[in-house]
Amino acid sequence: MKTTNLKAVTSRMESACLEFKDKYSDFRSVFDETSRFIKENSGQMDMDKVIGPAEKMVRFLMNYDPSLSFLNRSPLTPKNYPYHHAINVCNIGVAVLKRFNTNFSSIINRQLSLRFSEHDDIDPSARKDAFTYYIPGAIKEIAIGYFIHDIGKALIPDTIINKSTSLTEDEQRIVHGHAHEKGIEILERNHIRSLYIRNIVRWHHAAIYEGETGGYPEVPRPIEIPPYVKICKLVDIFDAMSSKRVYGEAADSAGVVARIYRKFAGKDPLLQFILHAFISEMGVCPTGSVIHLRNGQLAFVLDKQGPIVLPLTNIKGDPLSRYADPIDIDEKKKEDSFFDIDRRKAPLPPIQAFDILPAELREMFTRISIHNELKKQTT
């Protein structure tokens, strides 16, 4: 049975977060300054200051482990949410896009290979990778689009963006305009012509299947929304719902994945490819979730693959006096069928989950500056 030492796992998480911390600090000030500049100059950006740091950050996020994105998502405070959200949508979105790109392209290549299998004049080595949906240059542009998908919110009054109570109909209309109105206005003023970026900014809240309600702006046919935009929408929903906002608490990430699956499953075939890539990348139980096991225990998900979990309680639900090494559920349930996920029970909300984490994990989170707000909330 595969097990992982808890200290080794937390060390890996902390190393990844500290690596991220350097990039975070480098670009955070640029992000804030750019947002202020946009507000004060009717959508104009100082492109000379933005382009270099933004591209550097996006390159890093394109290769950062998306399963660790929960370390950059605060469940206890909405402070710095816009920046964290931009980072996570870019990081997770690119990972989902790459998985979709690989899976979809491989199917097309198999069909091409079968179709022309009897053509001796075609080099066999060229048949395997004759087609790729998104080339690297396109993925880079899409990544930038993911990072600035909400750029239009910089022109929405802070009194509306930071409102903790329900929005009026007029306020909702103003907020909805951040995509197809304010977002596009900013792109126009700064001569950003990339079709990938423009589509993401304009359509990331649009309906992505026939009959979906609540999307905006209205689109003639959801099938016309490109796959990379549909990915942005799913990831945007996931990160927003699993983060604390000024108007609501964070939902557990496993529950959010389940809700997204229930809403978007069974629609058009291409959307199913996209949804499969999203679920595969995030995991049914994303890293950082606290889940119920069939034997009555609570467990912290350390790795979505397996998943590998750290039991937090005994079968009666009492906190453990000492923490064992993490356990791979897929392996453990072969010898104990009750050591499995209890899908009848919803995972714990993040606030409750944080309180019962072992000291090693709580200390790690509070050591990292990205999560200093957790320390303030819990002391």
The CA distances from residue 93 to 80, 99, 150, 251, 366, in Å, are 20, 10, 14, 19, 27
Entry pTM: 0.86
| Average predicted confidence (pLDDT) for the chain | 84
Q: Is 5 left (phi over 0), alpha (psi -120 to 50) or beta?
A: beta
Dmax (CA) for the chain in angstroms is: 72
Q: What is the pLDDT of residues 254-309, one digit of tens each?
A: 889 999 999 999 998 999 999 999 999 998 888 888 899 999 999 988 888 888 88
Dump the DSSP string for 41-78. Answer: TTT---HHHHHHHHHHHHHHHTTS-GGGGGGG--SS--
What are the residues facing 341 on neighbouring strands?
293
Q: What is the pLDDT of residues 201-233, one digit of tens each?
A: 999 999 999 999 999 998 778 989 999 999 999
Instruction: Please give the pLDDT value at position 62.
Output: 84
What's domain 12-266's architecture?
Answer: Orthogonal Bundle (1.10)
The two three-digit tokens of residue 68, written as one number: 């660790």
How far apart (Å, rounded) are the C-alpha atoms in residues 53 and 82? 17
The two three-digit tokens of residue 58, written as one number: 């996006």
How far apart (Å, rounded) are the C-alpha atoms in residues 281 and 95? 7
How far apart (Å, rounded) are the C-alpha atoms in residues 17 and 20? 5
Q: What is the domain partition of the chain in residue ranges?
A: 12-266, 290-378
Q: Is 250 strand, coil or helix?
A: coil
Q: Is 162 strand, coil or helix?
A: coil
Instruction: Please give the pLDDT value at position 71.
Output: 63
The CA distances from residue 177 to 29, 170, 327, 367, in Å, are 26, 11, 47, 39
